[in-house]
Structure 1
Amino acid sequence: MTDFREIKEWEKAHQLTVDVYEVTKYFPEEELQGLTQQIRLACAAIPIKIAQGCDRENRSEKVSFLQLAKDSATEVEYYLLLAYELEMLEAVDYDRLVSGVVEVKELLECLIEKLSRNF
């Protein structure tokens, strides 16, 4: 079993989640139960799924959790676009956060490929 805090993919996803929470503090109050909640939950799901995958002994289960994390990252990517287009997110924050999401997705894809090759 691996300590998830030692995994760079988890570290990047965790920092992305912290950044998303910081930025979404400034979303409109009427969105607290809407887009704010959705983007936060989807983003937090990324490091959660990575951590859960670390607890799995079976490689195919690890890969499944990593794929779920990547799927959540895609969801976050969409929510960021939506927030930007609804003018709830500044361009500089949008660019920074999307860059973080893309980096996490690329890291996850590499890790998924590596684990899949070793079956």
Structure 2
Amino acid sequence: MEYFNFEKLEVYNKSILFTDLVYFKTKDFPKEELYGLTSQLRRAASSIALNIAEGSGGTKKEFNRYLVIASNSLNECIVCITIAERQKYISAEDQTQMRLNLTEISKMISGLKKYLLRE
């Protein structure tokens, strides 16, 4: 199988793994949250990977702009998982693990942005 260049980026792969985790955890959210928090968290999580992929095909300036959008989606995930934990949809341990994943992805996005600006 052939891969696209963005699929070789570690930050992309970690964001895909995070999206998998979000889908797994949100399966047990209450049905009344299907069009609320469940949808919002899933869209925000997938938006991280989607923006990395979409931006990677353009110029360095364009890629940097998409990485900013990915970072904004990451911040949205933080709010969603905070709400989910406060509503007892996920455990405190789940929230901590998800935050650790997002912190790692955030650092990788920041590093990639700095690299692109140097070039």
Does the alignment reach a TM-score above 0.5? Answer: yes
TM (norm. structure 1) is 0.94
The residue aligned with 1:78 is 79
Q: CA deviation at 1:4?
A: 1.2
CA distances 1:73-106 after superposition (whole Å, capped 9, x unpaired): 0110111111111111111211111111111111
The residue aligned with 1:109 is 110
The residue aligned with 1:63 is 64
Letter in 2 for 1:91: A
Alignment length (residue pairs)? 116
CA distances 1:53-87 after superposition (whole Å, capped 9, x unpaired): 1111x111010011111110011011111111111
CA distance, structure 1, for counterparts of residue 39 and residue 105 of structure 2: 21
1:40 has 2:73 as partner: no
- Deviating above 3 A after TM superposition, structure 1's stretches of 4 or more consecutive aligned residues are none
Q: Alpha carbon RMSD of aligned pairs, Å?
A: 0.9
Of stretches 22-31 and 87-96 in structure 1, the one that deviates more from structure 2 is 87-96
> Residue 87 of structure 1 aligns to a residue in which SS?
coil
The residue aligned with 1:100 is 101
CA distance, structure 2, for counterparts of residue 32 and residue 98 of structure 1: 22
CA distance, structure 2, for counterparts of residue 3 and residue 114 of structure 1: 17
Query: Any stretches of 5+ residues in structure 2 without a counterpart?
Result: none
Q: Report the identity percentage.
A: 29
Query: Any stretches of 5+ residues in structure 1 without a counterpart?
Result: none
> Residue 26 of structure 1 aligns to a residue in which SS?
coil
The residue aligned with 2:92 is 91
